Structures are given as structure tokens and as C-alpha cells.
Amino acid sequence: MKNLCETSRVVCTGVGVVTGLGIGIEHFWNNIINGYTSIDKITKFDITGMSCGIGSEIKKSDFNPSDYYTNKKDVNRNDDCTHYAVAATRLALDDAKLNLEKLDKDKTGTIIGSGIGGLSFLEKEMKTMYEKGHKRITPYLIPAMIANTPSGYVSIENNIRGISLGMLSACATSGNTIGEAYRYIKYKEYDVMICGGTEASITPISFAGFNSLKALCTGYNDNPKKGCRPFDLKRSGFVMGEGSGILILESYEHAIKRNAPIYGEIISYSSECDAYHITAPEPNGKGLTNSIHKALKNANININDVKYINAHGTSTNLNDKIETKVFKNVFKDHAYKLYISSTKSMTGHCIGAAGAIESIVCLKTMQTNIIPPTINYEYKDPDCDLNYTPNKYIHAKENIDISLNTNLGFGGHNTALLFKKIVK
């Protein structure tokens, strides 16, 4: 009889990144550690009169979705949201040196989330309906817009027959997808999981909505590269990004058996809800505090063992000071010894893809011992007084062997993921 308490260690063997800051892990990581930013004026649509008209776009000149599809006809049938996921998955599978022909497709699953789904495709078809009538709407509208299509399509594209889930928890989405994929492997239901997030929310209606919500940064339309400034006193809101981050997770045994490259180990995951407000975090960050405490407890990790945090760090007034408060509450005096950074200062906020992209940063940080910077940190905020690695990367002298990624999302969702350096 199978031991129900038996668990597997879970490792990451491949990563794929598609962002405005870089496509492919090497290009992306080089730009991250050098403090480059892809944030600029929006070119995809007219931003006249919008309070915020800046973001981190993936340029058409840099990304051709047909390079990644098996059936080229599917390019026009899908939204960018799915394009980015398909591309990042292909990059991640290649990075993991995973031979799909030798893979047990029934012991492999897919969990890819999106905070918003195929919004651009929907907007295009709405325009068609208003101008030409409802009978001219494409039959591909519904599958192109629903948020589970990226996960479903990746499974179809790669003939992955295990579980296929599309998850949605706003900006915490891919923290949840990675965490749930981790659990499926830990408890031995699957050997391999493709997981992460994708987003293509730089669209007119999205910008109109977030501007109306007063969530986006203001005052930087003429100086866009300075617009995203997490933890800085003059921060004024988040800057939208887009793209996808995909991780290939495997059981340690499966990875070792095929001599796979290993970025690091996931050692714990926790997720809770503030149950406070649909858009604002609970003033003391109780949900995230509880999530981090549980993640540490489940991994049997002391607070002093954590060396690096890739913070949610959105550049909004509320998030950054509350997240700082959470770190102080959890880590006590050690909070001031932590290396912390918000790489959203360079990528923008990729919503449902943020947690995956930033988890990849955690893994690369441990692999290289290089702490990426938080750029545009120029004016100290007394409420945000920790070490956010301002403006320039640090090559840490000590071993960065345990890192934490935090994510928060509208609806009160939050996640904590703990990663550990691993030596085969």
C-alpha cells in the first residue's frame, strides 16, 4: 500500500521568459542585473488624455508568435495572452532539455494563469460588432478571450495529457500556479508540471479602467523610464507590463534520473486571503504575514535563513509601505539585513505573469549570487526603510541559498513561495 505521507522534493529545471525587457532567460537576466528598463510611452494605441500613458510593451519587431506555434494558422485564432504563454513554454522546455518524446504525458500537467485573459481579442471583436453587426463576430472569440486558454493550448500544443488548469487570482495568479504545481509533484501525483502565468493587458479598455481606478502611476508621461519607483517616496502608482513566465517543475528523482539542469528547489508555498477589501491590502498586511509565517513553518526554515526577497513592490503608496511592514513583522531585526528588490521597476507589473517572472528572478539570484536592483529609488520614504538594493546590483559575498517571492492581488489574494539553492 502506498505511503500517503511520502513526498517528493520539487525542483525547477527550466525557465522561459517573454517580456518587454527581454525574451529568453539570458537576455532578460542581463537586462535585469544591469538595471535597464523597458518602460516607455505606449505605442499600441492612442493615450491622449490618459493620466498614465506609459508601460512595458513587447514590441512586434522583437516578437513573432508564429516562431513558436506548430500550426501557424493558430496565431490569428489566439490572443497575445496565449501567444506569450506558448512562446515562454517553448523556451522553458528547451531550457530544461526536456525530450517530449520520452516524457510520460499522463504524468505531466499544466497550470498556467492569467489575471485578465484575452482582452485585446475581445476589444477587436467588440469593434467589429458595433461597426458590422453581431453576425460578423469570429467563432474564435470565446476561446481566445477566456483565461484558461493559455493552459489548455499549451497542453494541446505539447500533447500533455495530465491535469490542465487555468488559474486566476489577479496579481497573485502565478504565485498560485507555481504553488499548486509544486503540490501536485510533492504529493507524487505528477512527475513534471509546466506552470506560470501570462498577461497581455496593455489595451485601451484596460488602461482606461486602471486609470479610472487611479492605480496607475501619474506625472511621468514625459519621463516614462522614471515612472515605476517601488518603495520610493515619490512613487505614484504601478506601471503596466506584459508577457509570460513559465517554469518547468520536476520531482528531484525525475530530474536526477535524466541528468537535468537544476535552477533550484521549491521548499514551501502558502496562500491566504486578506478578506478585507477588493482592491486595497489589509492595513497591517495580515494575510501576507500569515502566508510567509506558514511557508517558513512548513519548510522548517528560521527567519534568519532567508537571504533575499523579490518583493511584490508595485510602486503604489499602499502596497509598498504595507509590504515593508509585513517584512518587519515577520523577520524582526533580520528584516534590515535582508536583500530586497522589486524588479517591477524594470519590467513593469505583468499582473498574472508577475509571480512567475519574479520567481525566475529568485532562482537566478540564488544561482549567481547577484542581487538585482530596484531602480528609480531616489527619495527615501520613512515608511519604507529596508535595503531595497537601490539602483545598482550587488554581488553578494555571502551565499544566497534561500529566497522568498511575495505576491498580492485584487480580491485580497496573496502568496509566499520559498526557494532553496540546490547542489546535485
pLDDT tens string 208-229? 999 999 999 999 999 999 999 9
What separation in angstroms does the CA of 352 have from each of 170, 211, 251?
Answer: 6, 18, 25
Entry pTM: 0.97
Exposure string for 253-267, b = 16+ CB within 10 A, e = fewer? ebbeeeebebbbbbb
pLDDT tens string 297-332? 999 999 999 999 999 999 999 999 999 999 999 999
Contact 353, 169 (CB under 8 A): no
* Residue of 12, 81, 171, 362 marked catalytic: 171
pLDDT at 139 over 80: yes
Contact 165, 178 (CB under 8 A): no
pLDDT tens string 231-276? 999 999 999 999 999 999 999 999 999 999 999 999 999 999 999 9
For residue 281 the three cell numbers come to: 491590502
Show the beta-strand stretches assigned E in 335-398. 339-341, 370-371, 394-395
* Cα maximum dimension of the chain: 67
Task: List the domains of the chain with CATH numbers.
Answer: 10-257 (3.40.47.10), 267-420 (3.40.47.10)
In percent, how much of the chain has pLDDT > 90? 98
pLDDT band at 201 (very low <50, low <70, confident <90, very high): very high
pLDDT band at 423 (very low <50, low <70, confident <90, very high): confident
pLDDT tens string 154-163? 999 999 999 9
Contact 196, 356 (CB under 8 A): yes
In percent, how much of the chain has pLDDT > 70? 99
For residue 137 the three cell numbers come to: 463576430
pLDDT at 1 over 50: no
Give me the pLDDT at residue 67, please.
98
**In whole angstroms, what is the distance from residue 255 CA to residue 359 CA?**
19
Name the residue type at position 136. Answer: R
Catalytic residue check, 171: yes
Give me the pLDDT at residue 45, please.
97
Q: What is the DSSP string of 261-316?
A: ---EEEEEEEEEE--S-SSSPPTT-HHHHHHHHHHHHHHT--GGG--EEE----S-
